[in-house]
């Protein structure tokens, strides 16, 4: 069973992650959503609020609640996600000043910064939630680097488990027109990007869908967000750079900007250390080397 953990802090903004979490759970076989409140001042009131929110979705998915009252809240939430069957996190972010500095307070910030598991982040412009039988699309982002391509195994599993159509994109520089109107010869950078994407696509094909490709033109973050809305994408998947994971994301980074402007949730992963395991939704842990 996959458990999607949604940390809450009592704010309406944090609750924006509940619907996307439930929409993902509804697509998975044997999945549940776990709403977690972190060290509330009034435990009884917090429990009542959690139960009230859970009741809105109880006819759609298996949903439970839990109050975290002891220990460091961030560490407890991370432990919950790590110990629950196929646990993963889904959280909202305001997207101002960078992910690290502007989540829903210190607890959520530390959860994001310390997590070694895939995260689903719901940014301030997110306004979609995948319906149970909808023909959804997952947009996988590459920049041609080994780090960015480390998201492929996770994205492939999510496409398969969630029955999503995979799309793969790379953004070329603004001065490299992907469809030059008056050039007698193909654009070398665009052609190289298409070749890279075609190779990656073979790792994203599912039994029901073949990966589709698109080379975009412009700045990475704005092009990805624009194309995600145009598709439309139900989910964007991308990897962070560096061992520090999300702790190294700043407002100027592509990942942070995409989360800030994306019209849909964003699946964030980071490269794993050799021999480490990553849980996939609806399946057993896998080892990526």
Q: Do 275 and 282 form a contact (C-beta atoms < 8 A)?
A: no
Last residue of a domain, one of 62, 91, 122: 122
- Range of 40-54, 77-91, 258-272 with top mean pLDDT: 40-54
One domain, residues 160 and 219: yes
Determine, yes or no, domain membership for 105: yes
Number of residues assigned to the chain: 289
Determine, yes or no, domain membership for 63: yes
One domain, residues 57 and 168: no
One domain, residues 65 and 198: no
Return the CATH number at 45: 3.40.50.620
- The pLDDT-based confidence of 74 (bands split at 50, 70, 90) is confident
Is the pLDDT at 109 greater than 70? The verdict is: no
Backbone phi, psi, residue 110, to 5°: -65, -35
**How high is the pLDDT of residue 188?**
82
Residues ≥6 apart with Cβ < 8 Å to 211: 140, 166, 167, 168, 200, 201, 202, 204, 205
One domain, residues 143 and 67: no
Residue found by looking up tokens 């996939």 in the block: 280
Determine, yes or no, domain membership for 183: yes
One domain, residues 100 and 166: no
Structural domain tally of the chain? Answer: 2
One domain, residues 149 and 255: yes
**How high is the pLDDT of residue 186?**
60
One domain, residues 233 and 147: yes
Determine, yes or no, domain membership for 115: yes
The DSSP code for 281 is T
Last residue of a domain, one of 91, 122, 153: 122
Pick 52 or 105 by higher pLDDT. 52
Determine, yes or no, domain membership for 87: yes
**Domain with 225 in it:** 137-287
Is the pLDDT at 192 greater than 80? The verdict is: yes
The pLDDT tens digits for 195-254 are 999 999 999 988 888 999 999 988 888 999 999 999 999 999 998 764 444 444 433 378
Determine, yes or no, domain membership for 224: yes
């Amino acid at each position: 069973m996959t458990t999607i953990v949604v940390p809450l802090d009592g704010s309406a903004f944090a609750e924006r992650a509940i619907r996307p979490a439930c929409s993902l759970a509804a697509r998975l076989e044997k999945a549940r959503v776990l709403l977690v409140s972190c060290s509330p001042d009034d435990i009884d009131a917090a429990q009542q609020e959690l139960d009230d929110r859970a009741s809105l979705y109880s006819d759609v998915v298996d949903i439970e609640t839990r109050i975290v009252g002891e220990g460091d809240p961030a560490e407890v939430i991370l432990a919950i996600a790590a110990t629950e069957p196929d646990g993963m996190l889904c959280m909202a972010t305001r997207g101002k000043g960078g992910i690290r500095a502007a989540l829903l307070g210190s607890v959520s910030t530390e959860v994001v910064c310390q997590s070694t598991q895939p995260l689903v982040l719901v940014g301030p412009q997110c306004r979609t939630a995948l319906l149970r039988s909808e023909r959804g699309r997952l947009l996988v982002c590459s920049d041609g680097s080994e780090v960015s391509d480390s998201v492929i195994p996770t994205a492939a599993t999510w496409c398969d488990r969630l029955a999503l159509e995979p799309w793969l994109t790379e953004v070329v520089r603004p001065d490299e027109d992907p469809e030059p109107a008056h050039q007698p010869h193909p654009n070398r950078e665009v052609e190289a990007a298409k070749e890279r994407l075609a190779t990656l696509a073979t790792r994203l094909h599912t039994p029901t869908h073949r990966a589709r490709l698109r080379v975009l033109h412009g700045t990475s973050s704005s092009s990805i967000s624009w194309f995600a809305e145009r598709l439309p994408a139900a989910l964007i998947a991308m990897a962070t750079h560096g061992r520090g994971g999300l702790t190294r994301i700043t407002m100027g980074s592509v990942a942070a900007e995409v989360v800030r402007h994306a019209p849909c949730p964003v699946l964030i992963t980071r490269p794993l250390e050799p021999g480490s395991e990553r849980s996939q939704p609806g399946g057993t842990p896998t080892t990526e080397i």
